[in-house]
A and B are shown apart, each in its own frame.
Chain A
Amino acid sequence: MKPCHPNRRSLAATLVLTVLLVLPACKAHWPEKAQSVSRRPVLYPDYGDTVIAPNVAPLNFKIKESAVRFLARIAGEKGDAVEVSTRDGRIVFPERAWKRLMAQNRGAAVWVTITVQDNDGAYRRFEPVRIDIAREDVDRYVVYRLIPPMDHFWVKMGIYQRDLEGFSERPIIENQNFSVGSDGCVNCHSFRRNRPDRMSLQIRSGSFGKPMIVIKDGVARTVDTSASGFSKSPAAYQSWHPDGRHIAYSVNKVMPLEHTIGEHRDVWDDDSDLAVYDTDTNQVSTTHDIADPDRRETWPSWSADGRYLYFCSAPQLPMTQLHEVKYDLMRIPYDAATGTWGKRETILSAADTGMSAAQPKESPDGRWLLFTLSDHGNFPVFQPTSDLYVIDLKSGGPKSLTALNSRWADSWHSWSSNGRWIAFASKREGGVLARIYFSYFDRNGQAHKPFAMPQEDPSFYESCTMTYNIPELIIEPAPVSASQLGRVIAAKTTLPAPSLVRK
């Protein structure tokens, strides 16, 4: 090897120094003169007219116009504008500058101005795009399930936690953590009031059974609810009671089925019932009104004060009447201290709406009930007609959240801890792959145009073939790791079979 000549070394050092000194000085040259274009630019994802959270990571986007150079400037009433210039149309904002701008303009609006340079060197400037910044933060973390758009089989899936103030994602559990081969499935997860100190999720594993994993104060345990004698089926949808002790859950005898035209996926609910698991006494309790043999009860969800259990219920019908199976929205009073149930009542009847209700979620202030309505059945994510609706529990009457609904399935929603944000999964880009969106929900009960969960690579969603569901907002990171949960599951130290109490 030839020794490096001293002159060459100094030359290289000079070059490096020059680059280091010059780089920070490089700033997008913003042309003052440009031809006006009387339309807005096509951006992907479309963040125009959205209301965004002030603490969210930069909303990077791609400019879908043909040009050789792209310049974006985002500016608010306060603070310095942030300018970015690229040659491929991908606008990636520097995180620090973005956050500073958001903080300075909290509760106000910012405008994104796009200027592009054509082959001939001329500039074109589009109409500015307005983005409103809410006053209220969105909870910092969102936990979701990320899976392929599967029907019956899978290899890999998991539940992940994303830091919304940045772009980092970490697995909470992946099926490889408790699978020998690929025989593991992770189902729904649930938190108590957006706090991860109480967390539960359900797994199904060929090697380790179908336990529910209950995490209390950072300690994970498994319990086989199907051993209680209530139902042989494992738990599916869950909801933590605000007292941090009880978990309402459904047992669903569901089977996937296929249509031969249009959206091919559907789910047939053969029978479903509800029960409540007491994590302190290891006891399962239920009552006739939520486990009625003549009806299917599913989608349990506690009210914010824990006095009611919301659920959806439909009469038993044969599969030949698949399209007539529509679920009512119901609730039943519950006294957590004594474990006594009241009588169920119908909040919204399928007979009145002609639609099927699912996934009720009461807002943290107890005023709004958010749910989906779709054509039939109880699995809205496979129903293109599924839209989000809200009921004002003070004044009654459902209304469609038209600002956030799309022509494809919108479902799997959850509230932020302050009740100002709704996270939901939407298949608006083609009806197959769900993405997570956040919509600002103001004090008047109006939802605003949602924005897609930001990604570092603005074209991420364009080619992402995975689908997101069950986004649950939490204020702190989950206290367990995938390895911890895997060890707990594999240890097979399941709690004793819960006792069953029917009331």
Chain B
Amino acid sequence: MKPGCRLPLSYFPNRSPVLSGIGVELYLIDPKERLVTPEFQVERHALPLRQVNVDIRLARLEWSRQDARRSDIASIPYRAHHATVFLPRNMRARREKARLTSASERDRTLVQRMKLHLPLAAACLYAGLWPLMDVGFLAHRFPAPFLTGAAFFQRYAHVVGGPVEYSANFFSQTYSRHWAGVLAFTLFALAAWATARGILRRFSPGSCNWPAATFPILILVLASRNIGVLYILPMVAGLAAAWLYMALCEKPRNRWAHSAVVVLFLIASIPLYYLLASGFLYLCATCALFELLIRRRWILGLAWIAFGAAAPYGVSYLLYEPDIVSRYFRWMRMPEFDAGTNSLIAGMYLFVPAGAVVGFLAGRFRVADRIAPRFRLAVRVVGFAALAFLASRLVALQFDKSGWIYADYLLDDGRPDEALASLAQSPNDTDPVRFLTFYALARAGRLPWEMFHYPQLPSSDALLFRDSKWDTVPGIADWRSDLCLELGRVSESQRWAHEALAVEGETPRVLERMALVYILNGNPDASRTFVRALEKVPFQGARAQQYLASLDRDPAMRADPLVARIQPLMLRQDYVGTWSTEQILQQCLEANPSNRMAFEYLLAHYLLTSDVEGFARLAPRLKDFYGEMPTHVQEALLSFRNVNGSMPPGVDGSAISRETEARFQNFIDIYLPRQNSPEAAWAALAPVFGKTYWFFYIFGRTAVGQPPDFRADGSQGAGRPQ
């Protein structure tokens, strides 16, 4: 380094700890190894470093031997550590000013770098997320209503957090197209990373590039499967506002300008609360930490805390809501998942504030100086490993298609076979899983062949999903509407579409269903309203126009394949009252005896409830639907013959294959010796006959899933008529 040369900032390899380090100062030392006056040093320091003509050597004062060794100028004499003798009385304030100015400089540098790096990083991230984000699944999992126009926004204008909900709903519309959804997440992740980095760097030494990357990865992992973007966006927006506050606080050169920034922000925090709801808490908390820990302005720090506590109360005077928890925590997802997911959610929500505090404490107590290099390295390795683990979880999600939630998506996407594969991966006998299983099997044309390949219970409640405890669960109305439509109960499907509209709002799926049911019910005028609403949903315009064109051509849309399929199945008689599952399905068959789905559901109902008489009544119609009897039907026929001594009326022995006969005999041979020992019978039969009707008939459940607790439930097994 020659005197008078201009050096780029990047020349100083340790500039980051120097510039943002707490208790670490930047000093200019003349060629004669003398420290210049602190005043001179501070003045220069206040300038952007790129503009400083470095005609003297740059060094750091170190407070430990280890750091001195790492310093770019390691030959500083130990006596230089007595720099405090040169400190003027107001050095502390100047030191802080210098640090803040340096942070601003880093922001500028970041911006400059971003001119090149950001598009590159965005492109890489976009390419990386392209195969990882299952955007179609997200559209199904987190449906959100959104219509263009001021009238729709008005609905969100009267509630705190309404605008951010509106924004999140708009964000969710990008899921309609893979490219748009991935792009939205790419930009969101980059924004989250830049926000986290911008905040963390003000609290801790180091660039924070990699630690900050944890934040967007956490967001992507959770947003990919567990929580809607509505529960993330306010937090990121609040943090972004806090970042802006910090950046603006560092700019002003005089006290008045600085005070103006603070006052303006405190005032602006009230509308920010209205806009962001819980995101406002992030603004207050982060700004309070910044004022308390970094700038040591106790009054301002406490002012932010006071605003955070008071603004929700104050704003509730104008936009009242009685629930105090909602006032503070609206749009924060409460723990309701498994422990792992809850931990991730907590980690995401706490990442930036906790990271800021930890970063500050690490710098304040010079943790890095006190621990051994090896241990420091180990910490880094662990950090990168955690990051890699999170990233791998994001990748793994792409391959995890198990569970009923994913099966529901596949089913809605017209992939019942894949849905059944998903259901088979995580079998359980809850009502939603059983409902989806029945529905997927019926859609795939496999119900009477495979229904006992999945967990079943001796109840047909899940067939039509009629239990009222599910009434208000989001998405259930859609399921019921789907099922009723397939059964030809169009008015009932219409009813559940109405419920879905009231609960979910104008999502594309609901609007399309409303349009369809009104077309089927011969009311194209009503249908048009919903199609025009669909036209106002981003990315749905073309689809809506296709609908409108079809309606103009033929108001009954008879050429539409779905309409053509459902119309012949529609009920012709008004049934008012409360009906049993059997009656509901019989009504469908009365309207159209060839309603295959209704027939198979009725068959399933009889098998699940072991209603032998009902099965016998239905048996004569089996030949109308099947050339070769389905597996479970053959099994049921054999059971019937075994109990009654003959086949049901209308069915002869040719309906049963030799193989089934042989299997049944084998089943009997194994079962009879063990019929007084259910546990033994289960153990012997489950591996071979666990997926048969006979097994279900004996034990009241299939072998798939959890085995029964024979000690706790003595009624299991052997309790059924044979």
Contacts and interface: CB of A to CB of B under 8 A. Distances in A.
Chain A CB count within 10 A is highest, among B147, B321, B489, B514, for B321
A208 B499 contact: no
A258 B323 contact: no
Contacts of A262: 491, 521, 574
A333 interface: no
B160 to A, nearest CB: 9
Nearest to A146: B155
Given A264-B494, A483-B319, A433 B526 contact: yes
Contact of A431 (B492, B495, B523, B577): B523
Interface stretch (A26-34, A93-101, A172-180, A274-282): A172-180
Interface in B557-594: 570-577, 587
Contacts, number: 150
Q: Which 8 A-B pairs have the closest CB atoms?
A: A430-B526, A430-B525, A486-B320, A483-B320, A150-B502, A264-B491, A490-B322, A463-B532
Contacts of B523: 430-432
Interface in A132-151: 147-151
B584 to A, nearest CB: 9
Contacts of B326: 180
B491 A482 contact: no
A429 B529 CA distance: 9
Interface in A68-117: none
A95 B471 CA distance: 47
Interface string A178-208: 1111000000000000000000000000011
A78 B577 CA distance: 61
Given A180-B323, A430-B518, A463 B147 contact: yes
B154 A169 contact: yes
B471 A260 contact: no
A259 interface: yes
Nearest to A266: B576
20 contacts: A147-B502, A149-B502, A153-B471, A154-B503, A155-B505, A158-B158, A176-B321, A259-B491, A260-B491, A260-B492, A261-B572, A264-B495, A430-B529, A432-B526, A459-B532, A462-B532, A463-B536, A465-B530, A482-B320, A486-B321
A184 B518 CA distance: 29
Interface string B486-501: 0001011011001101
A376 to B, nearest CB: 11
Given A258-B576, A262-B521, 11 more contacts: A147-B502, A152-B471, A156-B155, A171-B158, A179-B322, A260-B576, A262-B574, A319-B577, A457-B150, A464-B151, A465-B501
A13 interface: no
B533 interface: yes
Interface in A248-265: 257-262, 264-265
B143 to A, nearest CB: 13
A435 B365 CA distance: 68
A19 interface: no
A147 to B, nearest CB: 8
A463 B525 CA distance: 11
Contact of A464 (B317, B514, B518, B529): B529
Contacts of A169: 154
B506 interface: yes
B676 interface: no
Contact of B533 (A179, A264, A319, A463): A463
Contacts of B459: none
Contacts of A489: 322
Interface of A: 147-156, 158, 169, 171, 174, 176-181, 207-208, 257-262, 264-266, 319-320, 322, 429-433, 455, 457, 459-465, 482-484, 486-487, 489-490
B521 to A, nearest CB: 7
A114 to B, nearest CB: 21
B498 A463 contact: no
| Interface size class, chain B | 35 or more
Interface secondary structure of B, over-half rule? helix
Interface in B155-199: 155, 158-159
Interface string B233-252: 00000000000000000000
B574 A174 contact: no
Contact of A149 (B501, B571, B573): B501
Contacts of B503: 153-155
B408 interface: no
A364 to B, nearest CB: 32
B568 to A, nearest CB: 15
B499 A151 contact: yes
Given A152-B499, A171-B158, A465-B511, A261 B323 contact: no
A153 B492 contact: no
A279 to B, nearest CB: 24
Given A180-B323, A432-B526, A153 B502 contact: yes
Interface string B601-645: 000000000000000000000000000000000000000000000
B499 A483 contact: no
Contacts of B154: 169
B526 A465 contact: no
Chain B CB count within 10 A is highest, among A151, A463, A482, for A463
A136 B316 CA distance: 41
A261 B574 CA distance: 5
Interface string B274-305: 00000000000000000000000000000000
Contacts of B672: none
A431 B532 CA distance: 16
B149 interface: yes
Contacts of B529: 429-430, 432-433, 461-465
A236 B60 CA distance: 79
Contacts of A181: 323
B398 interface: no
A150 B498 contact: yes
A487 B320 CA distance: 7
A465 B322 contact: no
B478 interface: no
Contacts of A487: 320
A185 B497 CA distance: 20
B79 to A, nearest CB: 46
Contacts of B316: 483
Given A261-B491, A262-B521, A463-B147, A177 B321 contact: yes
Contacts of A431: 523, 525-526
Contacts of A464: 151, 529, 533
Nearest to A484: B320
A178 B521 contact: no
Given A180-B322, A433-B526, A151 B491 contact: no
Contacts of B317: 483
Contacts of B514: 465
A103 to B, nearest CB: 28
Contacts of A261: 491, 570-574
A457 B574 contact: no
B472 interface: yes
B25 interface: no
A422 to B, nearest CB: 24
B492 A264 contact: yes
Interface string B671-682: 000000000000
Nearest to B501: A148
A93 B677 CA distance: 85
A92 to B, nearest CB: 13
B572 to A, nearest CB: 7
B509 to A, nearest CB: 14
A151 B498 contact: yes
Contacts of B501: 148-150, 465
A465 B533 contact: yes
Nearest to B315: A483
Contact of B318 (A264, A457, A483): A483
A459 B574 CA distance: 36
Contact of A322 (B320, B572, B576): B576
B525 A429 contact: yes
Chain A CB count within 10 A is highest, among B158, B502, B535, for B502
